Structure 1
Amino acid sequence: MKYIDHIADPSRPCAIVAHRGAWLHAPENSLAAIEAAIAGGYDIVELDIRQSADGVLFILHDDTLMRMAGVDRIPEEMTIAEITSLRLRMADGGPGQPFTTETVPTLEQVLETVRGRIFVDLDIKHLEMMEVVAAKVKEMGMADQVDLKAPAGTPEALAWLSGRSGIDGIPFMGQAFFKEGTAERTAETILSIKPFMCEAKFDRLETLAGQHPRLREAGISLWVNTLDPVSCCGLTDSAALADPDAVWGRMMASGISVIQTDQPAALKAYIEARRA
């Protein structure tokens, strides 16, 4: 099934996004974390894309390699051979985590690994790389399986997007912040480009829920993050582990049908229990 068709399917349960792969038992953004996400039966894996000094696209979140590889260097200033020679620390890294045999994967390696197995959200760390990433996705015949995303909730963001070329044919997700007083205007902006999905932040969950019927009617699904560092209104993974009804359940009742989490196994167990 194509990514767009899966997200548009009204009969599916809430889709689970494994943030940087299922990294609790493998280094984040590694091939092992991706394999763990596939084995876990999750819908989507989110990965962070950067480009080496010699032009190769690779997977890493941070601006330096210190946390995950113990090397205080900027990866964009290194060749791909230098980057991939380093071993990754377990889980989310840091000095308390042991080194593993996993290394930084290239985007090409990732796309071959996930082909036909899981959908992929490509978080491009430098937006000017969007056309380069799109070209690699198309070259590998993976346009139906990945998404590209960028801010799209303001006229300024739309102006930037209008100057992008080469991303047509790849599912696009717009990112927007829904605030009381301007939520309708934000929804109108999103509706003007009709992405298949909107990654939403909000000042109150009710603010976002109020725009859901309009977006749903236009075929736009809502994606929300419960990641502790970037969640909204205290609706975090940590809070969800303590009371999933108050976080994940409340989100689903508000029309959110895609949730990105660092606790994908717990979210999956909760969804399955609700459907039992």
Structure 2
Amino acid sequence: MSDYVDFISGSDRDCAIVAHRGAWHGAPENSIPAIEAAIENGYEIVEIDVRRSADGQLFLLHDDTLERMAGIARMPEEFTLAELGAITLRNADGGTGAAMTAYTVPSLAQVFETTRGRIFIDLDLKDLSLFEDAAALARQMGVSRQVDLKADVDTEAEMRWVRAHIEGSDVPFMAKARFLNGQGDESARNVIASGAFMCEAKFSDLTALAEQAERLNSAGIPVWVNTLDPVNSAGFRDSEALRHPDGIWGKLIAAGVSIIQTDEPKALQAYLRGAS
């Protein structure tokens, strides 16, 4: 597998598919089986959520409590990594109607061992204080060029944080920017100044996105957009894409987007194959 930056900057690649919390429709989100499914289905990137355990270890879980995924109304950070590794997870995206599985909360080290040389990883750190430890673990396990770390760059305070923590790092950095309410130019300037290898963009309308995508693509910074139903821009969401893929995924690609994060990676993959 190529270097993550080389892959993203490749001029001949198709739109990359990001499987949100893994390919979780047949396995618990943020679990090793969900990540394995993303690899087996040929998705290019898997997004995972990272937290720190009571004994200082990094592990995967999205929510502030274990209620949705394990039926335990406690904060996951209250448990040691060994204790988390004994907690079984509900299937798919959890909730009281989901069946309990035999799969447990994985450590980030387990994920890196699973994914090394097989798929790129977007690390969604639930606290930016995890940034240096996540980078150090990636280096230690030989996957530092197969993962990304990301942070917002819209304000001067956010840019100061990025300059303090990113400069000189060998781990690829993705800038998160909002192209909203006529302020897209400043955000785009910050993205370029940050040295990011790609940009996760939120936008107020498709015209605003297309203008900034052209600017960023010209600067060698490809654009990523989320079409997740809870986290979307201007109504460009998965549920609508399942009904009208040309009107959602197709329009985003036409506007200059070349990385899409989705909860429907199988449908996006089928759409891209049909459109090619």
TM-score range, shorter chain: over 0.9
When residues 224 and 135 of structure 1 are mapped into structure 2, their CA distance, relative to the original with a 3 A threshold, is same
1:188 CA displacement = 0.9
Q: Is the 8 A contact 1:194 1:218 kept in 2?
A: no
Per the alignment, residue 51 of structure 1 pairs with 52
Distance 2:48 2:163 in 1: 24
Q: How far does residue 163 in structure 1 lie from its aligned partner after superposition?
A: 2.5
Deviations 1:209-234, CA, capped at 9 Å, x for gaps = 10122211211010000000010111
1:150-178 deviation per Cα after TM superposition (whole angstroms, max 9, x unaligned): 11122121012222268700000000100
Residue type of the alignment partner of 1:202: F
Distance 1:166 1:175 in 2: 16
What's the RMSD between the two structures over aligned residues? 1.1
Which TM-score applies when normalising by structure 2? 0.98
Secondary structure of 2:257's aligned partner = coil
> 1:193 and 2:164 equivalent?
no
Q: What CA distance in whole angstroms lies between the structure 1 residues aligned with 2:216 and 2:195? A: 9
Q: 2:236: which partner in 1?
A: 235
- The answer on 1:181 being equivalent to 2:185 is no
Structure 2 gaps of 5+ residues are: none
**1:135 corresponds to which residue?**
136
Residue in structure 1 matched with residue 221 of structure 2 by the alignment: 220
1:191 offset after TM fit, Å? Answer: 1.1
User: Equivalents in 2 of 1:224, 1:74: separation in Å?
Assistant: 30
Amino acid corresponding to residue 227 of structure 1 in structure 2? L
Task: Name the CA distance, whole Å, in 1 between partners of 2:196 and 2:149.
Answer: 10
Partner of 1:244: 245
**Percent identity, aligned pairs only?**
53
Q: CA deviation at 1:83?
A: 1.1
SS of the equivalent of 2:165 reads coil
CA deviation profile, 1:22-55 (whole Å, cap 9, x unmatched): 0011000000000000011000000000010101
Give distance in 2, aligned partners of 1:22 and 1:162.
34
**Structure 1 residue ranges, 4+ long, deviating more than 3 angstroms after superposition:** none
- The code of the aligned residue for 2:93 comes to D
Equivalent residue number for residue 271 of structure 2? 270
CA 1:213/1:165 → structure 2, altered by over 3 Å: closer, same or farther? closer
Q: Partner residue of 1:76?
A: 77
Q: Distance in 2 between matches of 1:263 and 1:100?
A: 22
User: What is the number of residues matched between the two proteins?
Assistant: 275
Which residue of structure 2 lines up, in the alignment, with residue 11 of structure 1? Answer: 12
Instruction: Pick which of 185-194 and 55-64 moved more.
Output: 185-194
Alpha-carbon deviations, 1:85-130, whole Å to 9, x = none?
Answer: 1100000001100110110000000000001110000000011110
Q: Is the 1:151–1:174 contact (alpha carbons within 8 Å) kept by the matching residues of 2?
A: yes
